[in-house]
Each structure stands twice: as structure tokens, then as C-alpha cells.
Structure 1
């Protein structure tokens, strides 16, 4: 079974959804038969490379949300994150366009460490105030994952993996995703949002059970079939 997860590093609910999904997957009986693939999405492609103001000030100014309402929202999201073992620090968040970081994730994917890179960047962004728009920081993360820093800088100073990021975003749109996190199981089932772990568990069980069934296209015991002549034997004899 294959699960694709569209997310944006700069999305607080994506990190929470990641944890909740991981909790469900850890308790899934057939987890060793599940392939997870991360895919890119951008909530705000128009965001400048860097914004010299706090996350709260930026949201208040750009979205027209009163400052006290932004702070209340941060408190609510932070509490949800804490329940999943995450320590959000919105005061330290560096506001930056995530496109370069998504290109880095595709570089990490080519090295087989995309999931680890996703975790590192989300943690860095929301918990320790690291700059996901900084090539130096991305090279640092890559080095921890075994990617040569010079290779990371060379890739990110070019346009490499731009097409891969744009293709992921286009696929999300094609599948009807207007926001993230967005989980797709075997291209048959979609789960939108940072659902509770129990909801992910139920989805995994349902999708697995359905994947084990065979759709019979020709069956002589079914009067509606287009091919009624095929012979079949069963417990009560042959027909």
C-alpha cells in the first residue's frame, strides 16, 4: 500500500498531521508493507524569500487579522502540537518562502533521506527558529543526513528540482487538494487535514481491507455479467 503526503514545511498543521499519521502507522499491523512518499506543496508561493518581521506581525499585516487573534490562534495550535510531543515556538519562527527548501527535499529524496529531511526542516522551522530559506542552513541539514554540503549548495544555487516541486503541486491540484496536509492512499482514498490518529488508523484499516479484495470482471454465476458462458466449479458442484 502506498501513501503520498502533500505538505508544506511552513504549515504548522502539517507537522502535527505528520505526528498523528506516524502514531497511527506505528500501530498498524501491516506497517511494513506501507510505502510513504512525501510530496511538495506551497501554501503561499508569493511569499518573498525572506520577511524581516515576526510570524505574528506578518500574518496580521498580510492577512488582515488582528494581532490578538493571531496570538490566540498560535496558542491553540501550539497546544495541539504539544499534545503530539512537539514544542512550537512561534516567536522564533523565521518567515521565508519554502520553495528552495522543497527543492532541497527532492535532493534528499534522490539520496533516500527525504522523510528524515522533512522532519529536520519542520522541527527547525517551528521548534528552533531556523531559516528554511537559507541555503547554508539547508546544507547543514543535508550534511547531517549524509549529503555533501557543496552538492547541496550547487543544486540550490541552480534551478535543479524546480520541475519536481511544480509537478507535485500540480498533482495535488489535480487530485482536488486545496490545502495541506493531504494524504492519498493508493490514489483511491484522500484524507484532508491533520486528522486525529484514530481517523488515520481507521483509514489505513479500510484501505488495506479494500486492497485485498479482487474485483471479478467475468462471473457466470452473476446474471448481469457480459460473459455468462464461462464454466465454474464451486462447493455445490460445477456449472
Structure 2
């Protein structure tokens, strides 16, 4: 089973949804047969790398609410994060552009380190309050994920993996993805948002059961015709 996950590293529900899916997988008896692939999605491609605004002020401006209302909304998200074992530090979060982080994740995917890189980027932003568009921060995260620092530096200094990021985003648009997280299971079913663990578990079971119940091929001829097996060919 293949699960594709479109997400952004500054999206709180993407991190919460990731953890809920992982918790559902812990309860899924066939989890060793599940492959998770994270796909790129920028909530705000035009976001500046640096801003003088806090995350509370950004939310207040975006939704036209008061600063106190924004803080209460973020506190509620923080409680949802705590429920799945995550710690969100809104007071010290550093809002930024995530394009380079996505390019780095694409590089990590090529090297077989995608899942580790994605987790480190989420944790760096939400828990460690790191500036995940900063070159040195990204290089340290890449190195911690087992990637070659020199090669990662070459990636970030140029434009490599730009096409891969854009391709993921174009595919998301083609699928009708308007918000993240967005989970696609075997290109047959979609789960939108950070759904409860039970919803993910039911989705996993449904897809698995349907894959096992695939109808056998129906013969279109009554005799076997000329065939060969490992024991020889019919004459």
C-alpha cells in the first residue's frame, strides 16, 4: 500500500496529521507493507524568509481576528498536538518561506532519507523554533539525517530539485488539493485534514481489504491453448 502525503513544514495540522497516521499504523497489522511518501506543498509560496510578525500576529491578520483570539486558536492547536505527543512552541516560532526546505526534502528522498528529513524539519520548526529557511539550519538538519553536508550545500546554493517541488504542487492542483495535509491511499482514496486516528485506521483497513479481494482474471477461452511452465511446454 502506498500513501502519498502532501504537506507543508509550517502547517501545524500537517505535523499533527502525520503523527495520527503513524499512530494508526502502529495498530495496523500490515504496516510493514505500507510505504509513505511525502510530497511538496507550499501554503504560501510568496511568504518572505523573514518577517517581523509573530505567528499570532500573522494568524490575526490572515483571518481578521484579534490578537487574543489568534492566541486562543493557537493554544487549542497546541493542545491537539500535545494529545499526540508533540510540543508546539508558538511564542518562539519563526514563520518563514519553506521552498528550500522542500527542495532539501526532495534531495533526501533521492538518498532514501525522506521520512527522517521530514520529521526533523517539522520538529525544528514547531518544537525547536528554528529558522527553517536559514542555510546553516538546513545543513545541520541534513547532516543529522545522514545526508552529505557538502552535497546538501550544493543543492541549497543552486536550484536543484526545483522541478520536483513544482511537479508535486502541480499534481496536487490536478488532484484538487486545496489544503493540507492531504493523504492519498493507492491513488484510490483521499483523506483530507488531520483526521482522528480511528479514521486513518479504518481507511488503512478498507484499502487493504479491497486489495486482497481483487477478482481473479476471467478466462476468455475454454481450452488452455499452447502454454509453457517450468516443467515444459504442452504439445
Q: Distance in 1 between matches of 2:52 and 2:83?
A: 30
Q: What TM-score do the two structures reach when normalised by structure 2?
A: 0.90
Which residue of 2 is the match for residue 24 of structure 1?
24
In the TM superposition, what whole-angstrom CA distance separates every residue of 1:16-55 from its partner, at most 9, and x where no partner exists? 0011000011111111111111111111111112212211
Worse overlay, 151-160 or 191-200: 151-160
Give the number of equivalent residue pairs: 223
Q: Superposed, which structure 2 residues align to 1:7-22 within 5 Å?
A: 7-22=7-22
C-alpha distance in 2 between matches for 1:160 and 1:72: 40
User: Could you say which residue in structure 2 is the equivalent of 1:158?
Assistant: 158
SS at match of 2:39: strand
Following the alignment from structure 1 to structure 2, what is the Cα–Cα distance between the partners of residues 61 and 193? 23
In the alignment, is residue 53 of structure 1 matched against residue 43 of structure 2? Answer: no
Corresponding residue for residue 195 of structure 2? 195
Q: Return the alpha-carbon distance in structure 2 between the equivalents of residues 107 and 11 of structure 1.
A: 21
Query: In structure 1, how many angstroms separate the alpha carbons of the residues matched to 2:65 and 2:117?
Result: 32
Q: Does the residue aligned with 2:153 lie in a helix, a strand or coil?
A: helix
What's the counterpart of residue 105 of structure 1? 105
Contact (CA 8 Å) 1:89, 1:129: kept in 2 or not? yes
- For residues 165-206 of structure 1, the C-alpha deviation after alignment (integer angstroms, 9 at most, x for no partner) is 111111111112111111101100000000111110000000
Provide the secondary structure at the position in 1 that maps to 2:47.
Answer: coil
1:132–1:138 Cα contact (<8 Å) kept: yes
Give the 3-state SS of the residue equivalent to 1:15 in structure 2.
helix
Structure 1 residue 58: Cα displacement: 2.1
Mapped contact 1:139–1:153 kept (Cα < 8 A): yes
Instruction: Measure the CA separation in 1 of the matches of 2:222 and 2:172.
Output: 45
The 2-side partners of 1:52 and 1:200 are apart by: 38
Could you tell me how far apart the structure 1 residues matched to 2:210 and 2:181 are? 23
Deviation at 1:59, TM superposition (A): 2.3
Partner of 2:186: 186
Shift in Å, 1:65:
2.5
Give deviations 1:43-95, integer Å, cap 9, x for gaps. 11111122122111222234432211111110110000000001110011101
* Alpha-carbon offset, residue 162 of structure 1: 0.6
Q: Could you tell me which residue of structure 1 aligns to residue 134 of structure 2?
A: 134
* SS at structure 2 position matched to 1:38: strand
> Which residues of 2 match residues 223-234 of structure 1 at below 5 A?
230-231=221-222
Give the Cα separation in 1 of the matches to 2:33 and 2:61: 46
Structure 2 unaligned regions, length at least 5: 224-235
After superposition, the CA RMSD in angstroms is 1.5
Cα separation, 2, equivalents of 1:181 and 1:24 = 16
Cα deviation for residue 217 of structure 1 reads: 6.7
Moved more, 16-25 or 41-50: 41-50
